[in-house]
Amino acid sequence: MAHVQLLGTGGTIASRGNGAGGSVATDTAADLIGTGYGALGVTARDVLTTGSYRLGLQDLRTIAEHVREALADPGTDGVVVTHGTDTLEETAFLLDLVHDDDRAVVLTGAQKAADSPDPDGPRNVGEAVLAAADARLRGTGALISFDGTVRSARGARKAHTTASSPFRGGVEVAHMAGTELVVTAAPARREPLPLPPAAFDDVRAEIVTAYPGATPDLFDFAVRSGAEVVVLAGSGVGNAGPGFAEAVGRAVDAGCAVVLSTRAPWGPVVPLYGNGGGTDLVAAGAIPSGDLNPFQARILAALLVSLGIAPDRMPEAFRTHL
């Protein structure tokens, strides 16, 4: 009999109304298991019980360690992590970066609280368990299963605040057709990185966004206040206004890694423009993030910093994992 471990971390899927105080994560992982798995065995334990908007890097490291612990059990065929949708894309990407096992790790959650009239959590958990147990999904890394679609963690992001299917991007790996899981693709895998060390908890990695009239003041402040990484969410293919190229140069000279991403929801960073645009930003030392959005680029950069990658080696290390 196939066996799946479910790790609960909180989020909407575990939340119930708290009167005027709003919904709060209270349900345990055991509350989420449900029934109807047939020959599948499912066991559950709690890692955290909180809204994902409250998570810090230390919490993400804790989740990664618990996933590794679950996979250390040879009787486990896959792992499901229930998680709030707000920052699920960051945790999923970290898990994918460090995943060194063929067995799938599947993250899921809910858009409706557990005490809503028609909660979506039970269905999402059921589908995630099927995906985690399916031998055809071995070797696919960390995945996100939501509302009938299973997609790669890399490249995925929450694209709608309330829709039942809030995630877009990544590679669709499988989808539900009735009660059957139809496998459609296998995402390319990269060499796994080590689990984040304790130093990961305290990495200062900030995101600064470009917009009309933006000055580099906040960028400079982040560097002065101790940021080890600044992700610049540029406009378009990776651009920023007057003064940013000079600010990037100052940051790099000070030993701060700068990653150039884009505020556009989809598409790669392609340095094309001068006069302070992407070409000048990269010439000043910014590292293009490829197809990674600012939030996943931040997770990769923070992990590399915590692993002791020196600033002069950061561009090469970063590109290796794009």
The domain spans of the chain are: 3-183, 203-320
Q: Which residues contact 221 (CB under 8 A, 6 or more apart)?
A: none
As a whole number of angstroms, the distance between CA 238 and CA 232 comes to: 8
CA-angle at 274, arms to 268 and 280, nearest 5° = 75
- The CATH number assigned to the domain with range 203-320 reads 3.40.50.40
Distance of CA 283 to the CA centre of its chain: 29
Length of the chain: 322
Q: 3-183 and 203-320 share one CATH topology?
A: yes
114-131 as b/e: b if 16+ CB within 10 A: bebeebbbbbbbbbbbbb
Residue among 60, 8, 57 at smallest CA distance from 34: 8
What's the whole-model pTM score?
Answer: 0.97
Q: Which residues contact 156 (CB under 8 A, 6 or more apart)?
A: 89, 92, 93, 144, 167, 168, 169, 170
Distance of CA 269 to the CA centre of its chain: 19
As a whole number of angstroms, the distance between CA 33 and CA 43 comes to: 8
As a whole number of angstroms, the distance between CA 312 and CA 302 comes to: 15
Alpha helices in 43-87, H assignment, sequence order? 57-71
As a whole number of angstroms, the distance between CA 88 and CA 85 comes to: 5
Per the CB < 8 A criterion, the answer to whether 58 and 94 are in contact is: no
| 3-183 classified as CATH 3.40.50.1170 | yes
Distance of CA 67 to the CA centre of its chain: 15
Per the CB < 8 A criterion, the answer to whether 318 and 287 are in contact is: yes
Per the CB < 8 A criterion, the answer to whether 64 and 95 are in contact is: yes
Q: Is 85 among the catalytic positions? A: yes
The two structure tokens encoding residue 70: 């679950």
| Identified catalytic residue from 76, 85, 91, 140 | 85
As a whole number of angstroms, the distance between CA 159 and CA 74 comes to: 36
Residue among 35, 33, 31, 29 at smallest CA distance from 10: 29
Q: How do the pLDDT tens digits run along the chain, 322 residues long?
A: 799 999 999 999 999 998 788 999 999 999 998 777 777 899 999 999 999 999 999 999 999 999 999 999 999 999 999 999 999 999 999 999 999 999 999 999 999 999 999 999 999 999 999 999 999 999 999 999 999 999 999 999 999 999 999 999 999 999 999 999 999 999 989 999 999 999 999 999 999 999 999 999 999 999 999 999 999 999 999 999 999 999 999 999 999 999 999 999 999 999 999 999 999 999 999 999 999 999 999 999 999 999 999 989 999 999 999 9
The two structure tokens encoding residue 256: 């701060």
Q: Which residues contact 97 (CB under 8 A, 6 or more apart)?
A: 192, 193, 299, 300, 303, 321
| Identified catalytic residue from 12, 82, 87, 140 | 12
Q: Is 279 among the catalytic positions? A: no
As a whole number of angstroms, the distance between CA 220 and CA 172 comes to: 39
Q: What is the pLDDT of residue 54?
A: 98
Q: What is the pLDDT of residue 195?
A: 98
As a whole number of angstroms, the distance between CA 92 and CA 114 comes to: 22
3-state secondary structure of 134: coil
In the block, residue with structure tokens 């884009």: 262
Q: What is the pLDDT of residue 21?
A: 85
DSSP code at position 20: B
As a whole number of angstroms, the distance between CA 153 and CA 96 comes to: 7
